[in-house]
Structure formats: structure tokens, C-alpha cells
């Protein structure tokens, strides 16, 4: 054992890391001649509350990423065609699935929407759909009955079977596959409302725990994970204290905007004073979101193909790409 540890000590952490690490400037050079197809106005429209992103960042980070994904999609399609030839089958189009994971308030939704817009404007004009895993949460009535309302967003709060069936149908090339709709305004899955996905070229699936695994059975039985259906996965990362600040700041801003609507589930938070609201936000972060981050979300980071590291300014200052 001592000899093994001595042998490992001869290598640096970078030597053993499965990732290649790039600064923003280094990554930006990989854009090559990829054209910028979004305007500053469109970038502003696609960003979420309290998640500012500049058009310069889109050019330096997301444009090179879209170029990389173009290569991945092409290679995956070639592999699919080769497998179909080997099997003597003429299978339907198999969509390329991109998973985006990360903490609450890290900016997953903004990144997903911007990436969707960039990919949809490739010269071939592919069909790019975006689905969030929020729709696959159990309805509040179920969570309340099971005592899980304060575990909302934890792995056990999702209807995993329905999510896996959605992805399985999608990968099988089935037409008009439906995903449930979630409302952040009502803080619940909307009964009878669905978004229909009909054989896209690319699907982006965004959610807290999309890279989550479970304990493997000792009998070797198949246990499907959501990430089994991914062709590429992205984890958006930031320090705990930065995420904490972003979450609380967003909560306090929502108090002055969306929470003021009488129909909002969170309307009650707009009626308390600033000190009480701040205490509520801190409690929600420390008792729910931080626990989920530490126990379930952060441990999945090493499973991602790409890690986008954010500074406290919201700017991505480091990119980690898994080595092949």
C-alpha cells in the first residue's frame, strides 16, 4: 500500500485528472470561424432573473461549445448509421441528448436556453427541443402525502419511472412524446398540461439531478439512470458561498416582482419585512438547497463530460472537458 501511494505521489493532480482544463481565453480560441448568430437583445431576453450573461461570454464560451457539439452530433449520427447497417435495420432518427446539471441558482436555465438558440441556428437548421426535469416532480399533493415537500428537488421527489419512459420513447424515435409541465408561479406540476416532443434532432434536458445514480444491485440486474440516455453532459459549477449569495439575492428580488402577484404560491413572502424575508431565504438555502447540493448534486459533477466553472460575477472563467 505504501509503495502504491508513493507511486501515485509521483503524478500531479493534473496528470491524473480525466479533464483538460481551459481558461476562458484558451477556450475562446476554439471558436475558430463559428459565426455568432445571436444579438445582444436576444441574449438579454434568454437570461433568467439574477443570472446576467454578456454577449462576449456567449462568444467566448458557448460558441466554441456549439462547435464541439456539432462534431459530437455528426460522429454520433455516423455511429448510429453504422450500427443500423450492421444490424440490417433502417432505424428512425435517434436524437442527440444533452444533459445540463448543477445547483439551484447556478444558471442552468439561462445556459440551456442560449445553447438551444445557438444549436438551432446551425446551417442545417436542426430541430432543438428543451425540457426541464421540473415537470417530472411529483405533484404537491403527492409530496405532501409522503412528507416530502421540504425534500422537493431531491432525487426521491421525482417520478423517475415517468422520466425514464419519456427518454426511452424519445430515443426509440417515437412520435409526439409528452413531458409534464411545471409552473414556478404555482410551484406545482400543472394537471393535464404537457409539452410535446416530436423527433427532435437534439434534446436538451436540464435539471438538478440529471447525473444522479443509485446504488447498484449486487445481482447484476439492469438499473437505468437518466444519464444513460445522454450523448453529452454539462455540469455548471460555482463555489458554495457564491451559490448561497445568488440564491438569497434572487429570492429577495422575486419578493419585489413575481411574488407580489396574489396568485403566486410564494405571495406570502412578499408581505413580510426585509429581515424576515432574508431569514426565510437563509433557512431555505441552509436546510434544503445546500443539503441537496452536498448530498446529491455536487457528487455527480465528476460524471459530466464538460464542467463550466463560474466566478462570483456569474462569468464562466474555466472550462473542463473530459479527455477521450
Cα–Cα separations (whole angstroms), residue 215 to 65, 68, 138: 32, 32, 22
CB atoms within 10 A of CB 245: 15
Helix spans in the chain (H): 2-9, 13-16, 24-28, 40-46, 55-57, 63-87, 108-120, 140-145, 160-171, 240-255, 274-284, 290-292
Burial grade of 136 (CB within 10 A; 0-12, 13-18, 19 or more): buried
Per-residue pLDDT of the chain (324 residues; tens, 9 = 90+): 555 555 656 655 666 789 999 999 999 999 999 999 999 999 999 998 888 999 999 999 999 999 999 999 999 989 988 988 999 988 777 899 999 999 999 999 999 999 999 999 999 889 999 999 999 999 999 999 999 999 999 999 999 999 999 999 999 999 999 999 999 999 999 999 999 999 999 999 999 999 988 776 777 777 789 999 999 999 999 999 999 999 999 999 999 999 999 999 999 999 999 999 999 999 999 999 999 999 999 999 999 999 999 999 999 999 999 998
Identify whether the C-beta of residue 89 lies closer than 8 Å to the C-beta of residue 223: no
The C-alpha angle 198, 204, 209, rounded to 5 degrees, equals 125
Amino acid at each position: 500500500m505504501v509503495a502504491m501511494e508513493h507511486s501515485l505521489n509521483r503524478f500531479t493532480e493534473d496528470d491524473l485528472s480525466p479533464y483538460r482544463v481551459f481558461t476562458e481565453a484558451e477556450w475562446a480560441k476554439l471558436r475558430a470561424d463559428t459565426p455568432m448568430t445571436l444579438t445582444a437583445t436576444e441574449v438579454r431576453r434568454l437570461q433568467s432573473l439574477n443570472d446576467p450573461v454578456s454577449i462576449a461570454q456567449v462568444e467566448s464560451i458557448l460558441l466554441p461549445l456549439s462547435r464541439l457539439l456539432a462534431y459530437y452530433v455528426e460522429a454520433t449520427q455516423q455511429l448510429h448509421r453504422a450500427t443500423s447497417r450492421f444490424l440490417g435495420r433502417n432505424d428512425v432518427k435517434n436524437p442527440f441528448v444533452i444533459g445540463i446539471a448543477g445547483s439551484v441558482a447556478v444558471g442552468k436555465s439561462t445556459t440551456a436556453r442560449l445553447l438551444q438558440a445557438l444549436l438551432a441556428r446551425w446551417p442545417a437548421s436542426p430541430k432543438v427541443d428543451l425540457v426541464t426535469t421540473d415537470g417530472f416532480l411529483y405533484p404537491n399533493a403527492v409530496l405532501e402525502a409522503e412528507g416530502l415537500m421540504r425534500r422537493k428537488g431531491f432525487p426521491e421527489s421525482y417520478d423517475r419511472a415517468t422520466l425514464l419512459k419519456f427518454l426511452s420513447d424519445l430515443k426509440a424515435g417515437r412520435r409526439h412524446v409528452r413531458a409534464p409541465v411545471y409552473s414556478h408561479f404555482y410551484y406545482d406540476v400543472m394537471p393535464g398540461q404537457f409539452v410535446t416532443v416530436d423527433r427532435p434532432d437534439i434534446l436538451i434536458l436540464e435539471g438538478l439531478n440529471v447525473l444522479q445514480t443509485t446504488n447498484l444491485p449486487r445481482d447484476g440486474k439492469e438499473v437505468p439512470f437518466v444519464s444513460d440516455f445522454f450523448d453529452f453532459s454539462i455540469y455548471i459549477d460555482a463555489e458554495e458561498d457564491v451559490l448561497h449569495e445568488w440564491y438569497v439575492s434572487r429570492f429577495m428580488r422575486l419578493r419585489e416582482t413575481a411574488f407580489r402577484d396574489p396568485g403566486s404560491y410564494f405571495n406570502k413572502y412578499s408581505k413580510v419585512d426585509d429581515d424576515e424575508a432574508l431569514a426565510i431565504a437563509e433557512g431555505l438555502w441552509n436546510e434544503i438547497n445546500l443539503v441537496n447540493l452536498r448530498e446529491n448534486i455536487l457528487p455527480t459533477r465528476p460524471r459530466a463530460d464538460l464542467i463550466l466553472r463560474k466566478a462570483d460575477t456569474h462569468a464562466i472563467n474555466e472550462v473542463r472537458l473530459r479527455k477521450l
